[in-house]
Amino acid sequence: MEAYLLHDANAGSNLKLMIMIQEEGMKGYGIYWTVLEFLRLQNEYKASLKVIPILAQKARVTTATLKRIIYDYALFEVNETSFSSPGLSRRMEPWDAQQEAKKEAGRRGGLVNQQRIRDAKTSCALANKLNKENKENPSLSPQGETGRKKEEILLTPPEYTLNRQTHNYQGLMEELARQKVTDIHDLNAILRLTDFGKLGGKIWKILYELNSSPQLKARMEAAKEEEATEDEMITEEEAEVPEEADELKPEVEPEKQPVTEPEEEQRPVQEPVRQPAIPVVPDTIEVPAFDKPEIQRVDTLRKDTVPVVQPAVEDQGMTLKEIQEIRKREAAEEEARKEEARKAFEAQQKADKELREQKAKEQEELLKKQAEEERALLKAKADREKQLEADRKAKLKQAEADRKAKLKAREDLRKEKERAYKQRLKEKEKERKEKERLYKQKLKEKEKARKEALREKEKAAREKARKR
């Protein structure tokens, strides 16, 4: 059907149109309906301001005349880029709603018919396929199928499938995912055959049979046993970790033992004192830890004598006093070394502390400087944004003031034209009444003159008759 628009029978009695006709004549009235016919064919009944010269050329009028019709009489709604007719949009709302309802009904009817055809052809094939795959493989999505078109995008469900009273699309997708149906081709085929999870279809019976089958139950039990086995293995591995740590300890401890206890190695020096089996020389003590002096041989021989071997001098050992002095000296040396090490450590610690304090001070000063710079930048940015916001508000305020002034001027002009039109109507009505009064008066005078002439004729006739 060709596009049309409603033309009210009393459109010419509209005050705005009456003012426009008074100013432009019936030519303006024809231009108005030409513009409405053009807007009727446009999307959303709107047109760009750029088409005004083309529309003026089509209507065989000047661009200034067409702009005057669109802008000056408040018949059209004009913004920065387009213009429209509020009256046309309002009158076309019932027709638009009717057309949208027809399109939706046709679309739904077509989908239902297509789905009925597909269900009639392939419902039995789907049931056989699913039962066969259930026997061969627990998964509904076998791998390695060939001879079919590859699909990469999952079908989008129509709007009518969102009705939970007739469809269960979400439940169907969850069940297929649980059954490990991941192939896009299989999913699309099942969605097409089931009308996206329509309730009461054969797919729900098939899924129920799959869930209640012994193969599925056995597979679920096997999966649970595997999970339990994995958990036990993880627990055993965690339990074995401390034992491995304990086995590593004996390898590390022998390296530290000679370092941590150096004095304990010298303790066996006193052990021979406590042993009664060892012969003891008065006021002496045998110390095994120290090396014994070498036996000196007397090799001094006389020329005239036979060499004589000197008997070995018995080692008499060290006295307790000497051992104590040695220990005191060693203890003093050790204490001195410790003191030196302590002083060196303290000096190092002091130097490190001073260095850390210096670095901390420098870092603090740097952070303080950076914080000050950041505050200055943030303040400058805030001031700049504040100024920009103020400028934007000022521009918006000025634009709004200009727009209101323009609207006010346009409204004042319309009111002035309307007032002048009403004044002209009053003057015309007054002139008409004056003309009517003069016409009536002229008629009265003509009637009076006619009566006078008639009386004169009658008088002349009577006198003529009397003379006879």
Q: Which residues pair with 285 in a beta bridge?
A: 318
Q: Are residues 447 and 385 in the same domain?
A: no
> What are the pLDDT digits (tens) for 331-377?
999 999 999 999 999 999 999 999 999 999 998 999 998 989 889 99
Q: Report the number of distinct structural domains present in the chain.
A: 4
Please check whether residue 259 lies inside any domain of the structure. Answer: no
- Considering the domain architecture, whether residues 39 and 126 belong to the same structural domain is answered as no
> Tens digit of pLDDT for each residue in 280-322?
444 444 444 444 444 444 444 444 444 444 444 444 556 888 8
Would you give the DSSP letter of residue 297?
P
Rounded to whole angstroms, how far apart are CA atoms 454 and 448?
10
Q: Would strands 77-78 and 46-48 be described as parallel, antiparallel, or unpaired?
A: unpaired
Q: Establish if 320 belongs to a structural domain.
A: no
**Looking at the structure, do residues 60 and 133 belong to the same domain, yes or no?**
no
pLDDT score at 434 = 92
Task: State residue 139's pLDDT score.
Answer: 42
Does residue 76 share a domain with residue 22?
A: yes
Question: What gap in Å lies between CA 217 and CA 207, rounded to an integer?
Answer: 14
Nearest Cα to Cα of residue 191 among 251, 283, 277, 111:
111
- The reply to whether 331 falls in a domain is no
Is 164 domain-assigned? yes
Write down the pLDDT at residue 119.
63
| Residues of the chain predicted below pLDDT 70 | 1-2, 112, 115-152, 213-220, 223, 227, 229-318
Domain shared by 79 and 126, yes or no: no
Residue 392, Cβ density class (10 Å: 0-12 exposed, 13-18 middle, ≥19 buried): exposed
Question: Residue 118 has what pLDDT?
Answer: 66
Among 215, 230, 245, identify where a domain stops. 230
For residue 209, count CB atoms less than 10 angstroms from its CB and return exposed for 0-12, middle for 13-18, buried for 19 or more. Answer: middle
**207 lies in some domain:** yes
Domain closes at, from 36, 68, 84: 84
362 and 462 share one domain: no
Rg (CA), the chain: 60
Residue 36: name the closest of 69, 1, 80 by CA: 69
- Count, residues in the chain: 468
Name the 3-class secondary structure at 36.
Answer: helix
Looking at the structure, tell me whether residues 379 and 444 fall in a common domain. Answer: no
How much is the pLDDT for 128?
Answer: 62
Q: Cα separations (Å) of 368 from 358, 373, 379? A: 15, 9, 16
User: Can you tell me the distance from the alpha carbon of 359 to that of 369, in angstroms, rounded to the nearest whole number?
Assistant: 15
Q: Note whether residue 155 is domain-resident.
A: yes
Assess if residue 120 is contained within a domain: yes
pTM value surpassing 0.75: no
- pLDDT for position 427: 92
CATH number of domain containing 66: 1.10.10
Backbone angles phi, psi at 434, to 5 degrees: -65, -40
By residue range, what is the domain housing residue 72? 11-84
